[in-house]
Chain A
Amino acid sequence: MTVETVWVLAEVNDGAPISTSLELLTQARSLATTVEAVTYGDVTAEVAGTLGDYGATTVRNVGDLGGALPGVPVASAMAAAVTAGNGPDAVLFPATYDGRDVAARLSAKLDRPVLTNVVDLVEAEGGLASKHAIFGGSQVLTARFVDEGPALFVVRAKSFPAEPSGGGPAAVESLPVGQLGSSNAARIVDRHVEERSGPKLDEAAVVVSGGRGLGDADQYPLIEELARLLKGAAGASRAIVDAGWVPYSHQVGQTGKTVKPTVYLACGISGATQHLVGMKNSKNIVAVNKDQDAPIFSVADLGIVGDVHKVLPALIEGLKAKG
């Protein structure tokens, strides 16, 4: 058995496919003969062009969801194709809110297991095997499915580089929804988008993150100012997001963003395993923590054992002085 067809769930945000979907298309090219993207909502010529450029020959579009959350309708459409014998050998989902929902719904509809938190995909015995970083990334587990049927994988952001293939625009076809029923009753009634200036957290070359060691919400502006001076983005540990100091969109880690900047500066962050999985692959890591045994130092290229209230203001002054 070889891997013939792989589908990639391509989420579109702000009129463009999200980077994780492009990463998955890139990897899928090296694993399967045919790569196709599954989308929903409005597929513009530009979106079809980008998806084609990253390797999709066909875009299968579920169409307008009428305000429904994607989980049920998109999974129904995929399930209907599989049941009709037009399914793929594997489906790759980005580990996003909606991606995880669609994967879980499809898994239950098809009675197929799903492998989640995947960080690498390789060919194995004619099929696919997935790699999972466990225990804070200290160990890597390899897993695979043991029976036939579409293999479902939910893959974490930044597991692969996104590289265009130079392919032409993908042909857009419809992927009609199947049976919906009462489970499709949840509706989005309003959207709230937070204002953010500067580069995006998961795209910035420099990320400056703050944690509970800052002591108080009114110290967070130190992080924002540093990020601004370094033309980077400001991030956070979950502890201070839960405490309400900063919005959730700042969170780095297992349930937050995965970042891979040139420099990650962790300030007053202990380095819990769930934080490490979101930033451990940064090219360079600088940590400031007053506890020399803090786990964050185990991944730091430069660690300063010190007080953030002294080091950060001095750093801001120093950078300003440099101009």
Chain B
Amino acid sequence: MNVVVCVKQIPDPAAPPALDPGTKNLVREGKLILDDSDSYGVEMALQLADAAGGGEVTLVSMAPGGETSGLRTALAMGAAKAILVSDDVLAGTDALGTAKVLAAAVRRAEPDLVLAATESTDGYTGTTPVQMAELLGLPSITFAKKVEIEGSSVKVQRQTESGYDEVESPLPAVVTVTAGVVEPRYPSFKGIMATKSKSVETLTVADLGIETDQVGAAGSRQQVTEVADAEARTAGEIVVDEGDGAQRIIAFLEQLKVV
């Protein structure tokens, strides 16, 4: 059972985000980290490979500057190897362009199952994995809260507005997992040491046979025309509870005629 997990490496979400005033792209400076949303996919992949009694977990990531910090975290969790696509021409790539790159890289790993997160923390379009599935000619199941392999098919509990659907698909398939599908493990010391000997294959867009006009800012065929401050909410009244907090809320609700 070979599982590929798409993992995004992103700027630390704890740091205040900023847009480049010129390109209007997200500033991606300094060390990137493993998107927390993708740690669930990595854990899920490790558990599924384990349950299948063998197989490898391969990571696929597209990131600037040959970044491997986030990949190291996922390798330390137990993934076997990684493919990194890093190329200056990728700056400003949109979700579809990203899907083209990921699809080409995933194809090389010949997976039985491809996992990704339902959406990333920084760009959160949530469309990349399904665009990738279409380019790979594979079925996809999004918003998985439970994933099981049964023979040559995958069984998923897929979140819905009012509960969940049980969905089945033959393998290979693309599945996107929600946070909470599994509890990601912390990398052990042994795992961290083991990453040193694990391979990270670094590829360029040309290596993948993708034309450069398919990716980058030109390939994205969309343009940010303006960035403005949102209308601010007028500041409210913040009071420390001196035993009267509940009464204050009731008075507020009365004023709104809610009670």
The residues of A with any CB-CB pair to B shorter than 8 Å are 13, 69, 71-72, 75, 96-97, 100-101, 103-105, 107-109, 111-117, 124, 129, 133-135, 137-147, 154, 181-194, 196, 205-206, 230, 238, 241-244, 247-249, 254-255, 262-263, 265, 280, 284-286, 288, 292, 297-307, 310-312, 314-315, 317-319, 322
Chain A residues within an 8 Å CB radius of B179: 238, 242
Within the complex, what minimum Cβ distance (angstroms) separates B193 from chain A? 30
Q: Mark B69-84, 1 if CB is under 8 A from A, else 0.
A: 0000000000000000
| B125 lies within 8 A of chain A by Cβ | yes
Chain A residues within an 8 Å CB radius of B94: 113
Contact between chains at A263 and B258 (CB < 8 Å): yes
With beta carbons under 8 angstroms apart, the residue of A107, A109, A139 that contacts B230 is A139
Q: Mark B137-149, 1 if CB is under 8 A from A, else 0.
A: 1111111010000
Contact between chains at B142 and A140 (CB < 8 Å): no
CA–CA, A300 to B235, complex, Å?
7
Q: Mark B103-123, 1 if CB is under 8 A from A, else 0.
A: 000000000000000110000
With beta carbons under 8 angstroms apart, the residue of B164, B225, B240, B258 that contacts A262 is B258
| B221 lies within 8 A of chain A by Cβ | yes
Q: Mark B207-233, 1 if CB is under 8 A from A, else 0.
A: 000000000000011111111111001
Contacts A114-B127, A310-B245 given: A108-B17 contact, CB under 8 Å? no
What are 5 A-B contacts defined by CB distance under 8 Å?
A: A97-B160, A107-B96, A134-B227, A141-B24, A305-B238
Would you list which residues of chain B between 83 and 109 have a CB under 8 Å from chain A?
94-96, 99
CA–CA, A306 to B240, complex, Å?
6
Contacts A101-B140, A248-B145 given: A304-B248 contact, CB under 8 Å? yes
Chain B residues within an 8 Å CB radius of A312: 246
| B167 lies within 8 A of chain A by Cβ | yes
Would you list which residues of chain B between 235 and 254 have a CB under 8 Å from chain A?
236-241, 243, 245-250, 252-253
CA–CA, A71 to B99, complex, Å?
16
CA–CA, A43 to B87, complex, Å?
48
| B134 lies within 8 A of chain A by Cβ | yes
Contact between chains at B245 and A100 (CB < 8 Å): no
CA–CA, A29 to B67, complex, Å?
47
| B186 lies within 8 A of chain A by Cβ | no
| B169 lies within 8 A of chain A by Cβ | yes
Chain A residues within an 8 Å CB radius of B163: 191-194, 247, 249
The 10 closest A-B pairs by CB, nearest first: A306-B241, A104-B130, A108-B134, A242-B180, A314-B246, A303-B238, A186-B169, A104-B127, A301-B236, A315-B246
| Closest A residue, CB atoms, query B166 | A190
CA–CA, A186 to B167, complex, Å?
7
- Other than A139-B229, A306-B240, give 9 A-B pairs with Cβ distance below 8 A: A116-B126, A140-B228, A141-B226, A183-B137, A187-B167, A190-B166, A284-B252, A284-B256, A300-B238
Contact between chains at A154 and B127 (CB < 8 Å): yes
Contacts A72-B139, A311-B245, A315-B246 given: A249-B162 contact, CB under 8 Å? yes
Contacts A97-B158, A189-B167, A248-B145 given: A139-B259 contact, CB under 8 Å? no
CA–CA, A307 to B162, complex, Å?
32
Contact between chains at A182 and B137 (CB < 8 Å): yes
| Closest A residue, CB atoms, query B156 | A186
Contact between chains at A139 and B236 (CB < 8 Å): no
Q: Give the number of chain B interface residues (Cβ < 8 Å).
A: 76
CA–CA, A62 to B104, complex, Å?
31
CA–CA, A292 to B250, complex, Å?
20
| Closest B residue, CB atoms, query A311 | B245
Contact between chains at B252 and A302 (CB < 8 Å): yes
Chain B residues within an 8 Å CB radius of A117: 124-125
Contact between chains at B96 and A193 (CB < 8 Å): no
Chain A residues within an 8 Å CB radius of B118: 255
CA–CA, A230 to B220, complex, Å?
48
Chain A residues within an 8 Å CB radius of B159: 97, 248
| B170 lies within 8 A of chain A by Cβ | yes
Contact between chains at A101 and B142 (CB < 8 Å): yes
Contact between chains at B241 and A194 (CB < 8 Å): no
Contact between chains at A318 and B222 (CB < 8 Å): no
CA–CA, A255 to B125, complex, Å?
11
CA–CA, A140 to B224, complex, Å?
11
Within the complex, what minimum Cβ distance (angstroms) separates A196 from chain B? 8
Chain B residues within an 8 Å CB radius of A138: 229-230
Contact between chains at A104 and B230 (CB < 8 Å): no
Chain A residues within an 8 Å CB radius of B140: 69, 71, 101, 183, 186
Chain A residues within an 8 Å CB radius of B62: none
| B20 lies within 8 A of chain A by Cβ | no
| B161 lies within 8 A of chain A by Cβ | yes
Chain A residues within an 8 Å CB radius of B164: 191-192, 248
CA–CA, A244 to B166, complex, Å?
19
Within the complex, what minimum Cβ distance (angstroms) separates B102 from chain A? 12
Contacts A138-B229, A185-B169, A300-B238 given: A147-B141 contact, CB under 8 Å? no
Within the complex, what minimum Cβ distance (angstroms) separates B22 from chain A? 14
Contacts A144-B222, A205-B258 given: A314-B131 contact, CB under 8 Å? no
CA–CA, A305 to B243, complex, Å?
11
Contact between chains at A319 and B240 (CB < 8 Å): no
